[in-house]
Amino acid sequence: MGRRRFTEPEPSGPIDTLRGATAVEELDLHGETADSARQKVVWFLDRWGRHRPGAVVRIITGKGNRSTTGAVLLPMVRDLLDGACAHRVEEWTTEMSGGSVVVRLKGIA
């Protein structure tokens, strides 16, 4: 008897991954204080959630390498995405570099 060959199934459509998505806008938080960054993130997500429901945006926090206490902005942004801003967020992921977050926005509920 011969060997059976198994083939990989073909995807039914384009693979939609958040890491491969193109961001329509970026918010760069380098140099911001935590309080200032928090306000800017809330405003940014609210604005783009209303303007472009379903859009992908990038929030650049930096890795926190120059901070004496370690990263401050990235954990704060993650907490906002899962907490106070969760109503605007469909999904989010940290980029491979570790210094930014990519977010797919929900529409207005």
- For 9-62, the pLDDT digits (tens) are 555 444 457 777 888 999 999 888 899 999 999 999 999 998 898 899 999 998
Residue 75 to residues 17, 23, 68, 71, Cα–Cα distance (Å): 22, 21, 15, 7
- Whole-prediction pTM: 0.77
Which pair of structure tokens corresponds to residue 93? 């992921």
Work out whether strand 100-105 and strand 25-28 pair parallel, antiparallel, or are unpaired.
Answer: unpaired
pLDDT band at 86 (very low <50, low <70, confident <90, very high): very high
Task: Tell whether 89 is covered by a domain.
Answer: yes
Find, among 79, 104, 92, the residue nearest to 25 by Cα: 104
Task: Tell whether 20 is covered by a domain.
Answer: no
- For 92-105, the pLDDT digits (tens) are 988 877 788 999 99
Task: Tell whether 43 is covered by a domain.
Answer: yes
Which pair of structure tokens corresponds to residue 51? 């303007």
Enclosing domain of residue 97: 25-105
Which CATH number goes with the domain that contains 45? Answer: 3.30.1370.110
Looking at the structure of the chain, the number of domains it has is 1
Task: Tell whether 7 is covered by a domain.
Answer: no
Q: Residue 36's pLDDT is what?
A: 94
Task: Tell whether 18 is covered by a domain.
Answer: no
